[in-house]
Amino acid sequence: MVSRKVLSTLVAVSLTLGSLLYAAPVAYAQGDIVDVAVADGRFTTLVAAVQAAGLVDTLKGEGPFTVFAPTDDAFAKLPEGTVEALLADIPALTNVLLYHVVAGEVKAADVVTLDNANTALDKAVLVTVRDGRVFVNDAQVVITDVEASNGVIHVVDTVLLPPTDYTVKSGDSLYHIAADLLGAGSRYHEIVALTNAVHALDASYPMIEHPDLLRVGWKLAIPGGAAAPMTEKQVEVDEALPTIVDIAVADGRFTTLVAAVQAAGLVETLQGEGPFTVFAPTDDAFAKLPEGTVEGLLADIPTLTDILLYHVVPAKVLAADVVELDSANTVLGKPVAITVEDGAVMINESKVVITDIEASNGVIHVIDAVLLPPKEYQVVAGDTLYKIAVRLLGNGERYMEIVELTNEMHPMDSGYPMIEDPNVIRVGWKLAIP
C-alpha cells in the first residue's frame, strides 16, 4: 500500500535530517527513511506516530519518497493534547502523516522551483520562498537534502496539517473567511492559492481567478491549522486591529484611493476613532473613470475631498444591516442609494464585491466603481423630468432616479423638494441628479 510506504519514508527522513542539522559532519551509513529518523533522536514523536499508524513498512518501501519531517519541537508547538488525540484517532493521524510525503525524490534545488506539490494524501502543499527561506505551507524548511536509500528528507519546523473544506455562504468574502478561520483577513491569498492548487487534482474545487468574486456553494480549501474560536483574551486583542487607512495601504488594491486620501489630507480623519463605514473603490474602479479624471481630481482638492467624503458613512454598518437600507447619509451630507439587484448589493451604480472588512475604527465594503456625488439642477420653464433625464443622464427612462435621489435629499436639506407626482415639477425647484 503506497500510503504506508510514504509514511515510513517520512519517519526515516526526519531522523536523518535531524542528525545532519545538529551533528558535526560524519560519514553516514545510509539507511532508509525510517532508519534515519529512528537513529537521529530528534524525531521521537514522528517515529511514534508512524508506528501507531502502521506506516513503518510503507516508508521502508522502495519509494522513492520526499518527506517533510517535523522535529519533536515542531510537534510540541501544536495545541496541548493534539498529539495524544491524534494517536487515539488513527485515520486522522494517518492523514496528517501522509500529508508530509510526496511521491518521488524532490531535492531542494527542485523544491524552490515549485508553487505546490501533491502529497500522498492527494492534497497539495504550497511551496513559497520568503526572504530566501523555503516554506511548505507555514512550515519553514530548516534542513534540506538528507538522503536516504529510498528518498530524501527535508526537515521542517512545524507540523503540516491537511487543509479543511469550507463552503461559501451568502455574504462571505475571502477576507472575512480568512479572518474567521485563519485569524487574519490578510491571509485570504493563501486560501486562493491552495484552492487553485487543489483544483488541478479535484475539479470540485473552483479555480479562483478574481479574489473579489466568490459564488455561494463554492468549496474552498482552507490551510491547515485554522485559528480556533477567539477566547475572551483574544477578543480584547481585537481592539488592536489596524485602522481603515492601514488596511487600505496594506492590501495593495487601493493605491489610487490611498493616494487620493493622502492628497486630500484625510489620513488622520480616517485613522480617527470613528466608527466609519467606507465604500472603498479598487484601483480597477478608478481606472473605469474617463481618461484624465483622476489627474484632474488630484489637482482640484475641494472636489476630490467631496468625492472621498461621499464614500464614507459616519457609523459602522455591516453587510447584514446595509441590505436592510434604502439609502445611507454620507459624511458629505448627501445620501447614497442602496439597492439589491439579482442578489448583488448596489451603492448607487456601484456593486459591492467584498463586504465586512473590519477595522479598529469601522468597516470597509469594497466596490467596483467610484461613487460620484449628485449634481444640482434648477428646473426651468418647459422642463419635464423625462427631458432632464435625457439631457443629463442620457436616458429619459432614468427620470425616477432623479425623483428618488431628490426625495432622499429632502429630509437632510429642505432646499430639495419632495416630489410626490413625477408629472408635476415647478420652475425653480432644485433637483439632485445622480
Query: What confidence tens digit (pLDDT) does each residue in 184-197 have?
Result: 777 788 888 888 87
Which pLDDT value is given to residue 387? 93
Give the pLDDT score at 283.
93
Which CATH number is 164-229's, of 3.40.1360.10, 2.60.40.10, 3.10.350.10, 3.40.50.800?
3.10.350.10
Domain spans of the chain, in order of start: 2-156, 164-229, 241-367, 375-433
Residues 43, 74: Cα–Cα separation, whole Å:
9
For the full predicted model, state whether its pTM sits above 0.85: no
358 strand-pairing partners = 363
Question: What CATH number labels 241-367?
Answer: 2.30.180.10
What's the pLDDT score for residue 323? 76
DSSP, collapsed to helix, strand or coil, labels residue 194 as helix
Predicted pLDDT of residue 132:
74
Contact indicator for 392, 311 with CB cutoff of 8 Å: no
User: Phi then psi for 125, rounded to 5 degrees?
Assistant: -105, 150
CA-wise closest residue to 55 among 21, 100, 122, 115: 100
Fold of 2-156: FAS1 domain (2.30.180)
Asked if 425 contacts 379 with a C-beta cutoff of 8 angstroms, the reply is yes
C-beta of residue 160 within 8 angstroms of C-beta of residue 96: yes
Higher pLDDT, 55 or 321: 55
| Percent of the chain topping pLDDT 90 | 38
- The letter for the amino acid at 381 is A
pLDDT tens for 168-225 read 887 778 888 888 888 777 778 888 888 887 787 778 889 988 777 778 889 998 887 5
pLDDT at residue 12 tops 50 = no
- In this prediction, residues 397-419 reach a mean pLDDT of 85
The answer to whether the 2-156 and 375-433 domains have the same CATH topology is: no
User: Cα-flanking dihedrals φ and ψ of residue 2, to 5°?
Assistant: -60, -40
Alpha-carbon separation of residue 273 from 189, 317, 318 (angstroms): 29, 15, 17
Distance CA 422, CA 387 (A): 12
Per-residue confidence at 4, pLDDT binned at 50, 70, 90?
very low
Over residues 141-149, mean pLDDT: 86
Superfamily of chain region 375-433: LysM domain (3.10.350.10)
